[in-house]
């Protein structure tokens, strides 16, 4: 199956700082990347969809100026949480858009803002 590498797996940052999360597709080209957030014991919530070479599409209620998404190449998409606050502490997961019915996720990034 497709290999998706997400880094870092865990990060602690101070309130007010920014954190960048990377998602790389290792053996295929991902024109689309989905970014999810997951709170404890909750389902995956789609935050935004990034498309290579164009602006990301954000879901309702997601602040695009806070969650900056860049998809500059077919193998790399990044999510930057700017001016992080404790309420941004969550599990962030990427998933490349696939043309078949299967879907593969990144390993996830646990963000803790203190």
49 binds another protein (CB under 8 A): yes
Of residues 43, 61, 86, 114, which one binds another protein by CB under 8 A? Answer: 43
Q: Is 13 helix (H, G, I), strand (E, B) or coil?
A: strand
Under rule CB under 8 A, which residues in 74-93 are in contact with another protein? 91, 93
Q: Which is nearer to another protein, 81 or 106 (CB)?
A: 106
Structure tokens at 25: 């597709």
Helix (H) / strand (E) containing 71: strand 67-73
Q: How many residues bind another protein (CB under 8 A)?
A: 25
In angstroms, the CA 13 to CA 29 distance is: 31
65 binds another protein (CB under 8 A): no
Question: What Cα–Cα distance (Å) separates residue 88 from each residue in 11, 22, 23, 32?
Answer: 12, 17, 19, 24
Task: Give the interface with another protein as residue ranges (CB under 8 A).
Answer: 1, 6, 9-10, 34, 41-44, 46, 49, 91, 93, 97-99, 101-108, 110
């Amino acid at each position: 199956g497709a290999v998706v590498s997400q880094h870092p797996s865990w990060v602690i940052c101070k309130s007010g700082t920014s954190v960048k999360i990377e998602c790389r597709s290792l053996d295929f080209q991902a024109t689309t990347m989905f970014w999810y957030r997951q709170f404890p014991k909750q389902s995956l919530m789609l935050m935004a969809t990034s498309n290579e070479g164009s602006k990301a599409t954000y879901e309702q209620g997601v602040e695009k100026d806070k969650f900056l998404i860049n998809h500059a190449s077919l193998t790399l998409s990044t999510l930057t949480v700017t001016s992080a606050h404790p309420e941004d502490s969550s599990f962030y997961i990427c998933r490349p858009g696939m043309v078949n019915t299967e879907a593969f996720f990144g390993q996830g990034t646990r963000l803790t803002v203190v």
